[in-house]
Amino acid sequence: MTPRRLLGSIAAHGLALGLALGTGLTPAAAHHSFSMFDPAKPLQFEATIQSFQWTAPHAVLWVQAGQVGAYGPGLWSLELPTSPANLAKMGWSRNVVKPGDKVVVSINPIRDGRRAGQFKKLTIVASGHVLEALNIPGQTQQPPK
Amino acid sequence: MSRAPLFALALALALAAPAFAAPADDPITPAPTAKDWQALAQRPDWSGSWFPVISDQFAQVTSNPVPWKPEVQKQIDHWDAEEKAGRPRGLLLDCLPHGVPSFYLITHNSIEILQTPGRVTILGESDGNRLVRIWTDGRKAPADPDPSFHGYNIGTWQADTLAVSTTAILPQTWLAVSEAVGIAIGEGAHVEQKFHLIGPDTLAVDLTITAPAVLTKPWETRRLFTRKRARSYEIVEGVCRQGDFEETTDQWGNPAWSPLAQSADGNVLAPPAK
Spell out the domain ranges in chain B. 42-233, 239-269
CATH class held by domain A3-132: mainly beta
Q: Are B202 and B192 spatial neighbours (Cβ–Cβ below 8 Å)? A: no
Which pLDDT score, from 0 to 100, does residue B254 have? Answer: 98
Dist CA B235 CA A139 (whole Å): 17
pLDDT at A21 over 80: no
pLDDT at B23: 72
Contacts of B116 (CB under 8 A, 6+ apart): B32, B40
- Better-predicted residue by pLDDT, A11 or A92: A92
pLDDT score at B187? 97
Partners of B112 in the β-ladder: B49, B123
pLDDT along chain B (274 residues), means of 10: 60 58 82 97 97 91 96 97 93 93 94 97 90 96 95 98 98 96 97 98 98 98 95 89 88 93 68 52
pLDDT of residue A117: 93
A94-118 residue pLDDT tens? 999 999 999 999 999 999 888 999 9
What DSSP letter does each residue of B38-63 carry, written as one string? HHGGGS----SEEEE-HHHHHHHHHH
In a mutational test of the A interface, the residue from B91, B108, B274 whose CB has the highest number of chain A CBs within 10 Å is: B108
> Could you write out the DSSP letters of every residue in B67-110?
-B-HHHHHHHHHHHHHHHTT----TTTT-----TTHHHHT--S-
Mean pLDDT of chain A: 78
Provide the shortest C-alpha distance from residue A56 to chain B (in Å): 5
- Closest Cα in chain B to A92: B232
The SS3 of residue A26 is: coil
Looking at per-residue pLDDT, the higher value among A22 and A56 belongs to: A56
Banded pLDDT at A138 (limits 50, 70, 90) = low
Q: What is the 3-state secondary structure (H, E, C) of B195-220?
A: EEEEECCEEEEEEEEECCCCECCCEE
How many other C-beta atoms lie within 10 A of the C-beta of residue A15?
Answer: 21
Least CB–CB distance from A56: residue in B93, B224, B240 = B240
The residue type found at A121 is K
Total length of chain B:
274
pLDDT of residue A101: 97
| CATH class, range B42-233 | mainly beta
ipTM of the complex: 0.75
Q: How far apart are CA B76 and CA A74, in angstroms?
A: 39
Cβ <8 Å between A136 and B127:
no
Measured between beta carbons, which residues in chain A are less than 8 angstroms from residue B274?
A: 71-72, 113
- Is pTM beyond 0.90 here? no
Q: Which residue among B55, B107, B243 places its CB closest to the CB of A56?
A: B243
Whole-number pLDDT of residue B53: 92
pLDDT (mean) for A6-28: 35
Q: What is the mean pLDDT of residues A68-83?
A: 92
